[in-house]
Structure formats: structure tokens, C-alpha cells
């Protein structure tokens, strides 16, 4: 039924050798295999998040957010993202300006180093801060003498999150700014505009969609980071538990409605991130 | 030759300075701490931790499951990328957007959701259990979790390469009487091979370090379903910082080797592409 009509429209059918019996067999086989694979591995888990969250009805779902520990976890995650994302955005803008606007030696090494956190296991990303600031770490004694705590406290969570989400804005902006070139900025400077004015009036409008996606992705990863934060947090309920860590605790206590209710919020955040990505790509700016 | 080429644009000192300073403080110095912590161990101690039976068991699982997951993604990633690039069907754009979901979704969420679906009473697990296939709390579950989280890397690596396959070459071959499989073997495969291998390596690298989604589905039995990142966490929880650092350095070195492989593959792919265009 639907098979004949769209095929004629796409232009596939007009190509030689594209309308044979074998071809349409392969075509439907590929589509069926793709959809089955994605349904089992991706769609079923996504649907489960909401099915489990609403297992006992809407009332139970909403009640799980009234739990003070859950509310504290949400607050902590928001606070962390509120600090980490702007800092990493500033870094991303600076790195992209330095790398895309200038030619200097060792540039490819710098790019590789910025990407480094992506290649490192999140557990190692957390561990390095424990080695530095933990009780038996390098600065552990000094920190205790001065009554400061980084590990098992908010600063450690922020540091680990910053490390893990460090490259996202920069990675989004560097290829975009390289592709757009320097001609307009050079014209602005030659005509007498200052550096900041050139950045805000010429560069920023050009890169704004890439910047939006980079920030949104950085935020999603910051709010969802588990491994690195798990190592530095100490899992103190109501104090150092972020949303993903709180999911783990609720799940291990067999409080499935609570665990999946928090998970449903993070799933919605991920979905929102993808919506932003799709909208950004629709503006004509192509990634990769 | 000077350090950088002259330019009329301002702000190099400020942005380059901030970039290198921030990079050093947040990334490079902490990583140096890891290497130094491991270097302060006596080498016999280091070997004792790194080659202990429990560590060897965790490498076997981490490498085996990551390799298997990357292989699964090599096959299904190609099929999915091909389907998205070449075929038009209802919901194609939605599926295309959803491919990035495992990338945006927190790993803890993927972990608990997969475990629930593939547990003995889950949506899919209940049909696999009578067949004698246990997924949750076995190495199969570890592989499944790693497959899910590394899937976008495989698909997204192959998609642009498939778009670049010159369809007029395919058509020319077919008008000259080439069989579809011959076309695939001699025109499509050579074009996408570097991308396929890059996707495989990216997926492998991502899977190797994964922690969040695996610990929920793995069961975490020493020697059997304990991945290397988990073993590091166990060392840290026992305040055995040096043991954790030793295992961390092993993983770090392996990550560097894989990263190097990715760079070489991408250079190879670009060179082939340039030569092909001439």
C-alpha cells in the first residue's frame, strides 16, 4: 500500500536497477532490521522509564517529588549546572576564538588536549580529584587543617562535572568558526571596530545556533553525569546526591516509582536537547 | 619562524592564555596527579595490582564486551545508517533524531531502564528467559548496555561517508551489468571503509570507559561481571588510592592508544578521499 507511492516520489525508483524485486526485498529487510534493533535497544528502555514512573498512577508519580531528598537532589543538580555550564561556555568561546581565528604552532595538539576528557573513563575523571583533594590525597592534610572540604562536597562535584563536560561547547564552536572564516571580522576591525564590538556584533550572531546547541548539550551532560560525580560525591542523602546518584539510591532501595520519576525528568531533558539539536540543524547550520 | 602568523584580529593573547590556563588547571594537572600517584609505587607493587587475577578478569570482561558491542554496532550501525541515508519511510526523521538519544541520556537512566526491560520479568527479558537466555546480571547484559551507549558513535561516523558515495558510479556499474553485490563490494565498501573502522574504534573507546549504565545491569560479581572502572571505584572506596591510580593509568594508556588509532584512521580516510576525488 504505502510501498509504491513514496518510492516513486523519492526518485529512487527512477534510478537503474533500483526497482527490481531484489532491491525492494533488501530495502524492506534493512528497514525492518533497523527498526527492530532500535526498538529493542533504545525505544523499549525509553518507554519503560515512563511506564515504571507512572506504574502506580499520577498521584504516586507527583508524590515522589515531594520527598525532601529528591527535591534536594534536583536542587543540587541545578546548582551544579548553573555554575559549570557558564564557565565551560566561556572557555569554549575563548578556545574557539584562539583556535579558529589564528594560525599558531601546536594547534592540533591543543585541540587533542581539549578533547581529552571525552576519551577518559568517567571514573578516572572523578578519581583524579580524589587523588588531589581526598583525605589521603596530595592536598588532603592541608585542606583538613584549614577546615575545607572539596571531596564529598559541592566543590568536588562541580570540579568533576566541569572536567567531564569541558570539551562540549568548544567542540561545537571550533569547526563552525573555522568553516565561517575570518573575512567579516577582519573587515570590522579594519573599519575601526574594537575587539569586543567585533565579537558581539559580528561573530556572535554568526555562531549563535552552534553556541545554543553546544550549551544545551553541555547542560544535558552536566546534569546527567554519573560516574565521575559518583566517585567524588560520597553519596550523602540530601547533601551531595545529584539526580543521577539519587536514582541509583532509590533504585537499590526498590523504590522504583521514585527512581523512574527522577529518571523521567532527565529523559525529558535529553529529549529537549535533541529537539534543540533538530531545530538548530533546521536553521541551515550543518554539523559534521 | 614565529610562534604564530600575524593577523589583524585582536584577542589572541587573552583567549589563548585563558584556554591554556583553564585546560592546565582543570584537565592536565589533575591527570598529572594520577600518573605521579602511580609512579610513586614500587614497580613490583604496580605489577601486583595491575596483573592480579581480579584485575585480569575485569580486563577480560571490559575488553571482550566492548569489542563485542563495537562489532554489533559495526553491523547494525551500518544497516541503520544505510536505511537512514538511502530509504524514505514514515518516521525516518524522528528515528534519525533519536539516534543521538543514548548520547544525551544520562547513563544511570539507560542502566536502570535496560535492566528493567531485560530482567526476567521485563518486557523483553520474559520472552528470552524460557529460551535459556539470561541478559540481566550476566556478561550479555554488560554487552547490551555498552552496545546502547556506543551506538550513536557508530551510526554518526558512517552516515556522512554514505552520503559521499558517488551514486553515478554505482549506476554506471549497474548499467554495465554489475551485480548489486559486486557494486557493494567494489564501490560502496571502499568508500565507507575508513568511516566504518573509525565508527568501530569510537564505539570501542566509548564502551571501554563506561561505568554508569553497566553497574546496574552487570551484577558486579568479581572475576565474572566486574568491569575495570568498577574495580577502580572499589579500590577508591577502600582508600587504596595507589591501587586505583595504577589501574587508572593502565586504562589511560589504553585510551591514548585507541585515540591514536582513531586519528590515524581519520587521516587515512581523508587521504583516500582526496585521492579518490582527483
* Residues B43, B53: Cα–Cα separation, whole Å: 17
- Residue A3: per-residue pLDDT: 40
Contact B252 A244 (CB under 8 A): no
- The dihedral over CA atoms of B74, B153, B104, B256, expressed in degrees to the nearest 10, equals 120
Stretch A174-195: mean pLDDT = 92
Q: Which of the residue ranges B84-93, B110-119, B247-256 has the most confident prediction, judged by mean pLDDT? A: B110-119
A148: left (phi over 0), alpha (psi -120 to 50) or beta: beta
CA angle (B238, A84, B235) in 5-degree steps: 10
Stretch B40-54: mean pLDDT = 91
Q: Does A63 touch chain B (CB under 8 A)?
A: no
Question: In angstroms, what separates the C-alpha of A240 from chain B's closest C-alpha?
Answer: 16
Portion 67-126 of A in contact with B at CB < 8 A: 90-91, 93-95, 97-99, 101-105, 110, 112-114, 116-117, 119-124
Contact B89 A6 (CB under 8 A): yes
* Residues B184, B195: Cα–Cα separation, whole Å: 15
Query: Does the pLDDT at position A5 exceed 50?
Result: no
Contact B88 A9 (CB under 8 A): yes
Task: Tell me which residue in B107, B174, B263 faces A226 most closely, judged by beta carbons.
Answer: B107
What are the residues facing B4 on neighbouring strands?
A: A104
Chain B residue with the nearest C-alpha to that of A182 = B9
* Helix/strand/coil (H/E/C) assignment for every residue in chain A: CCCHHHHHHHCCCCCCCCCCHHHHHHHHHHHHHHHHHHHHHHHHHHHHHHHHHCCCHHHHHHHCCCCHHHHHHHHHHHHHHHHHHHHHHHHHHHHHHHHHHCCECCHHHHHHHHHHHHHCCHHHHHHHHHHHHCCCCCCHHHHHHCCCCCCCCHHHHHHHHHHHHCCHHHHHHHHHHHHHCCHHHHHHHHCCCCHHHHHHHHHHHHHHHHHHHHHHHHHHHHHHCCHHHHHHHCCCCCCCCCHHHHHHHHHHCCCHHHHHHHHHHHHHHHHHHHHHHHHHHHCCCCCC
Chain A residue with the nearest C-alpha to that of B84 = A31
- Residue A236 C-alpha cell reads as 550523602
Contacts of A251 in chain B (CB under 8 A): 112, 216
B155 CB contacts (<8 Å, ≥6 apart)?
B73, B77, B80, B81, B84, B99, B199
- Residue pairs between chains A and B whose CB atoms are closer than 8 Å: 293
Query: Does the pLDDT at position A1 exceed 50?
Result: no
Determine the residue among B211, B213, B244 to mutate to test chain A binding: the one whose Cβ has the most chain A Cβ atoms within 10 Å.
B211
- Residue B82 C-alpha cell reads as 544505510
Stretch B169-186: mean pLDDT = 84
- Residue B5: per-residue pLDDT: 86
* Residues A85, B118: Cα–Cα separation, whole Å: 35
B10 CB contacts (<8 Å, ≥6 apart)?
A189, A194, A195, A198
ipTM of the prediction: 0.89
Task: Yes or no: say if B205 and A116 are a contact pair by the CB < 8 Å rule.
Answer: no
Q: Does A25 touch chain B (CB under 8 A)?
A: no
Q: What is the mean pLDDT of chain A?
A: 89
Determine the residue among B26, B106, B128 to mutate to test chain A binding: the one whose Cβ has the most chain A Cβ atoms within 10 Å.
B106
- Residue B227: per-residue pLDDT: 95
- Residue A256: per-residue pLDDT: 94
Contacts of B232 in chain A (CB under 8 A): 121, 123-124, 127
Contacts of B167 in chain A (CB under 8 A): 15
Phi, psi of B247 (to 5 degrees): -65, -35
Contact B27 A134 (CB under 8 A): no
Phi, psi of B165 (to 5 degrees): -60, 130
* Residues A7, A14: Cα–Cα separation, whole Å: 9
Please tell me whether the overall predicted TM-score, pTM, comes out greater than 0.80 for this model.
yes
Q: What is the mean pLDDT of chain B?
A: 90
Chain B residue with the nearest C-alpha to that of A234 = B237
Contacts of A130 in chain B (CB under 8 A): 236, 241
- Residue B278: per-residue pLDDT: 42
Chain A residue with the nearest C-alpha to that of B207 = A121
Portion 226-245 of A in contact with B at CB < 8 A: 226-227, 230-231, 243-245
CA-wise closest residue to B127 among A42, A161, A218, A44? A44
Question: In angstroms, what separates the C-alpha of A64 from chain B's closest C-alpha?
Answer: 17
Give the rounded percent of residues in chain B with a pLDDT score beyond 90. 63
A106: left (phi over 0), alpha (psi -120 to 50) or beta: left
Stretch B257-264: mean pLDDT = 84
Task: Yes or no: say if A230 and A121 are a contact pair by the CB < 8 Å rule.
Answer: no
- Residue A125: per-residue pLDDT: 94
Interval B136-153: pLDDT, tens: 999 999 999 999 999 999
Task: Tell me which residue in B7, B18, B34 faces A128 most closely, judged by beta carbons.
Answer: B34
B221 CB contacts (<8 Å, ≥6 apart)?
none
- Residue A210: per-residue pLDDT: 92
- Residue A112 C-alpha cell reads as 587533542
Give the rounded percent of residues in chain A with a pLDDT score beyond 90. 72
- Residue B178: per-residue pLDDT: 81
Structure confidence at residue B276 as a pLDDT band (50, 70, 90): low
Contact A124 B151 (CB under 8 A): no
Determine the residue among A14, A127, A162, A287 to mutate to test chain B binding: the one whose Cβ has the most chain B Cβ atoms within 10 Å.
A127
Chain A residue with the nearest C-alpha to that of B25 = A163
Interval A15-68: pLDDT, tens: 555 567 777 888 899 999 999 999 999 999 999 999 999 999 999 999 999 999
Contact B9 A37 (CB under 8 A): no
CA-wise closest residue to A198 among A206, A189, A207? A189
For residue B227, with 0-12 CB atoms within 10 Å meaning exposed, 13-18 middle and 19 or more buried, which class applies? buried
CB atoms within 10 A of CB A85: 24
- Residue A108: per-residue pLDDT: 87
Contact B229 A121 (CB under 8 A): yes
Q: What is residue A104's three-state secondary structure?
A: strand
Chain A residue with the nearest C-alpha to that of B73 = A37
Interval A133-147: pLDDT, tens: 988 888 888 888 888
Task: Tell me which residue in A95, A121, A185 faces B209 most closely, judged by beta carbons.
Answer: A121
Amino acid at each position: 500500500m504505502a510501498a509504491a507511492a513514496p518510492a516513486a516520489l523519492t526518485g529512487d525508483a527512477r534510478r537503474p536497477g533500483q526497482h527490481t524485486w531484489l532491491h525492494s526485498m533488501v530495502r524492506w529487510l534493512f528497514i525492518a532490521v533497523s527498526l527492530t534493533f532500535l526498538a529493542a535497544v533504545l525505544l523499549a528502555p525509553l518507554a519503560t522509564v515512563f511506564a515504571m514512573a507512572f506504574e502506580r498512577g499520577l498521584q504516586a508519580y507527583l508524590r515522589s517529588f515531594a520527598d525532601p531528598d529528591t527535591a534536594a537532589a534536583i536542587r543540587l543538580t541545578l546548582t551544579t549546572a548553573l555554575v559549570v555550564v557558564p564557565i565551560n561556555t566561556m572557555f569554549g568561546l575563548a578556545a574557539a576564538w584562539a583556535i579558529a581565528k589564528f594560525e599558531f604552532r601546536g594547534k592540533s595538539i591543543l585541540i587533542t588536549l581539549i578533547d581529552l576528557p571525552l576519551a577518559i573513563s568517567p571514573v578516572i575523571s572523578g578519581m583524579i580529584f580524589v587523588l588531589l583533594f581526598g583525605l589521603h590525597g596530595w592536598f588532603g592534610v592541608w585542606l583538613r587543617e584549614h577546615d575545607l572540604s572539596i571531596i564529598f562536597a559541592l566543590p568536588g562535584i562541580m570540579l568533576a562535572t566541569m572536567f567531564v563536560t569541558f570539551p562540549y561547547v568548544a567542540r561545537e564552536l571550533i569547526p563552525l568558526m573555522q568553516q565561517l572564516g575570518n573575512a567579516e571580522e577582519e573587515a570590522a576591525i579594519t573599519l575601526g571596530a574594537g575587539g569586543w564590538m567585533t565579537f558581539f556584533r559580528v561573530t556572535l550572531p554568526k555562531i549563535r545556533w552552534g553556541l545554543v546547541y553546544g550549551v544545551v548539550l553541555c547542560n544535558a551532560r552536566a546534569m546527567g553525569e554519573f560516574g565521575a560525580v559518583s566517585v567524588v560525591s560520597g553519596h550523602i542523602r540530601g547533601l551531595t546526591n545529584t539526580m543521577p546518584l539519587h536514582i541509583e539510591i532509590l533504585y537499590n532501595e526498590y523504590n522504583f516509582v521514585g527512581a523512574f520519576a527522577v529518571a523521567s525528568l532527565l529523559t525529558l531533558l535529553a529529549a529537549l536537547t535533541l529537539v534543540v539539536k533538530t531545530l538548530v540543524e533546521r536553521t541551515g547550520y550543518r554539523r559534521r | 619562524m614565529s610562534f604564530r602568523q600575524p593577523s589583524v584580529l585582536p584577542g589572541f593573547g587573552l583567549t589563548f592564555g585563558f584556554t591554556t590556563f583553564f585546560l592546565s588547571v582543570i584537565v592536565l594537572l589533575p591527570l598529572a596527579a594520577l600518573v605521579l600517584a602511580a609512579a610513586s609505587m614500587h614497580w613490583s607493587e604496580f605489577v601486583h595490582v595491575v596483573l592480579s587475577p581480579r584485575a585480569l578478569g575485569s580486563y577480560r570482561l571490559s575488553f571482550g564486551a566492548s569489542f563485542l558491542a563495537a562489532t554489533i554496532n559495526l553491523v547494525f550501525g551500518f544497516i541503520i545508517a544505510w536505511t537512514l541515508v538511502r530509504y524514505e519511510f514514515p518516521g525516518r526523521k524522528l528515528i534519525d533524531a533519536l539516534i543521538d538519544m543514548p548520547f544525551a541520556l544520562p547513563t544511570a537512566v539507560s542502566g536502570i531502564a535496560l535492566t528493567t526491560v531485560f530482567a526476567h520479568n521485563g518486557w523483553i527479558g520474559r520472552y528470552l528467559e524460557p529460551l535459556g537466555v539470561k541478559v540481566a546480571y550476566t556478561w550479555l547484559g554488560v554487552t547490551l548496555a555498552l552496545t546502547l551507549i556506543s551506538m550513536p558513535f557508530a551510526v554518526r561516523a558512517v552516515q556522512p561517508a554514505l552520503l559521499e558515495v558517488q551514486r553515478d558510479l554505482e549506476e554506471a556499474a549497474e548499467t554495465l551489468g554489475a551485480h548489486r553485490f559486486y557494486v557493494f563490494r567494489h564501490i560502496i565498501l571502499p568508500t565507507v571503509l575508513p568511516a566504518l573502522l573509525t565508527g568501530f574504534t569510537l564505539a570501542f573507546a566509548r564502551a571501554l570507559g563506561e561505568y554508569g549504565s553497566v553497574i546496574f545491569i552487570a551484577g558486579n560479581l568479581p572475576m565474572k561481571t566486574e568491569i575495570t572502572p568498577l574495580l577502580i571505584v572499589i579500590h577508591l572506596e577502600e582508600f587504596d588510592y595507589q591501587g586505583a591510580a595504577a589501574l587508572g593509568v593502565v586504562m589511560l594508556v589504553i585510551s591514548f592508544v585507541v585515540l591514536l588509532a582513531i586519528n590515524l584512521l581519520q587521516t587515512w580516510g581523508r587521504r583516500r578521499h582526496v585521492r579518490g576525488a582527483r
